[in-house]
């Protein structure tokens, strides 16, 4: 991202974001509520049109075509706080929908791959269940598997555990940790600072639409430079 400015009417929500993420990096994005974290993620996959600057993914300019999910770059997977599974489809149907419709993967092949992904996130026995029959943690693991079914190059997570009961947070973080260890490029908005410390290659701290500070997790948590970062860390640790 170079010089990215995003406005909602008169409100400037991103005020000049420069951010380069290398392949294989796991970037944890943190900052106070309203600082622009979700908006930044949404600019990476073209869900939001920007006013100024540029967003380039894998050498290609991201141009927003509005928030229609089927026009998004299929190489960028996104996982939201509120699972967003299609409630009228089974878990397996949720996983094969985009691969068959968007990537034109043959149905049998999509099903085989979906089952493998469900096994990978530990819910293969839920393939024929509907989302509301699953716990929150299981639904979020299904949502991650659904994103992976598109074979993404980059995964964006927007507070993936914030809506979960404490005992379910770990099962989702475990799946994300495995993904990180397999080399997936990830940008994760989260308040799980233990996870950030352990898994992130870099922590980026935002406030009021700007990147205030970024560092490797050890340095970020043990010797933050900026006053605003110190205050934030003091509040959440
Ligand atoms: P964060 O994810 O860090 O909490 P957001 O990116 O959601 O922050 O929001 C940043 C700011 O942009 C907030 O002031 C929020 O109210 C505003 N905002 C976000 N989305 C919209 C929208 N669709 N229309 C108007 N304002 C918005
Ligand atoms: Mg947000």
Q: Per residue in 2-52, pLDDT tens? A: 999 999 999 999 999 999 999 999 999 999 999 999 999 999 988 899 999
The token duo for 150 is 């598109």
Residue nearest atom 26 of ligand 1, based on CA coordinates: 8
221 burial (CB, 10 Å; 0-12 / 13-18 / 19+) is middle
Name which of 161, 175, 180 is nearest 83 in CA terms: 161
Ligand closest to 81 (CA) is 2
- Quickly state the pLDDT bin for 229 (edges 50, 70, 90): very high
Strand-pair category, 52-54 with 56-57: unpaired
The two tokens of residue 95 are: 């996983």
**Tell me, what's the ipTM?**
0.98
- pLDDT tens column, 162-213: 999 998 999 999 999 999 999 999 999 999 999 999 999 999 999 999 999 9
**What would you report as the CA-atom Rg of the chain, rounded to the nearest whole angstrom?**
18
Taking 60 as the threshold, does the pLDDT of residue 70 lie above it?
no
Ligand nearest to the CA of 34: 1
What average pLDDT is seen over the chain?
A: 94
pLDDT score of 69 more than 60: no
pLDDT, greater one: 74 or 114? 114
More confident residue, 169 or 59: 169
* Mean per-residue pLDDT, 137-160: 96
Average confidence (pLDDT) over 214-218: 97
* Number of CB atoms found within 10 A of residue 189's CB: 22
Residues with CB under 6 A from ligand 1: 8, 11, 13, 31, 33-39
pLDDT for the residue numbered 16? 97
How far lies 92's CA from each of 112, 114, 123, 132, 212, in Å?
10, 7, 11, 14, 42
pLDDT of residue 85: 95
Q: How far is the CA of 190 from the centre of ligand 2 (A)?
A: 9
Place of tokens 């205030």: 212
What local confidence, expressed as pLDDT, does residue 33 receive? 95
Tokens at residue 79, please? 């996982």
Place of tokens 């990215």: 4
Largest CA distance in the chain: 55
pLDDT reported for residue 68: 55
Closest CA to 147 of 194, 182, 179, 195: 179
What pLDDT score was predicted for residue 65?
66
CB contact at 8 A, 73 and 67: no
pLDDT for 66: 58
Position 104 scores a pLDDT of 95
- Average pLDDT of 209-230? 96
Q: Which of 9, 11, 13, 211 best tests ligand 1's pocket when mutated (most atoms within 8 Å of CB)?
A: 13
**Beta-ladder partners of 225:** none
Q: What average pLDDT score do residues 64-78 get? A: 71
Would you tell me how many other CB atoms lie within 10 Å of the CB of residue 69? 11
């Amino acid at each position: 991202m170079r010089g990215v400015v995003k406005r909602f009417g008169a409100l400037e929500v991103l005020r000049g974001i420069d951010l380069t993420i290398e392949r294989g990096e796991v970037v944890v994005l943190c900052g106070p509520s309203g600082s622009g974290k979700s908006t930044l993620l949404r600019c990476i996959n073209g869900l939001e049109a920007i006013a100024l600057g540029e967003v380039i993914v894998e050498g290609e300019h991201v141009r927003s075509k509005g928030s229609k999910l089927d026009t998004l770059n299929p190489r960028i997977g996104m996982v939201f706080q509120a699972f967003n599974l299609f409630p009228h489809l089974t878990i397996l149907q949720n996983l094969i929908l985009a691969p068959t419709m968007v990537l034109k993967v043959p149905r049998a092949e999509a099903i085989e791959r979906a089952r493998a992904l469900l096994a990978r996130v530990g819910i293969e026995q839920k393939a024929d269940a509907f989302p509301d029959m699953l716990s929150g943690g299981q639904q979020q693991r299904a949502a991650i598997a659904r994103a992976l079914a598109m074979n993404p190059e980059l995964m964006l997570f927007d507070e993936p555990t914030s809506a979960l009961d404490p005992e379910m947070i770990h099962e989702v973080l475990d799946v994300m940790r495995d993904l990180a260890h397999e080399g997936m490029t990830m940008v994760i908005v989260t308040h799980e600072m233990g996870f950030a410390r352990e898994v992130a290659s870099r922590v980026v701290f935002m406030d009021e639409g700007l990147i205030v500070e970024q560092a490797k997790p050890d340095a970020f948590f043990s010797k933050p430079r900026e006053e605003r970062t110190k205050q934030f860390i003091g509040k959440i640790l």
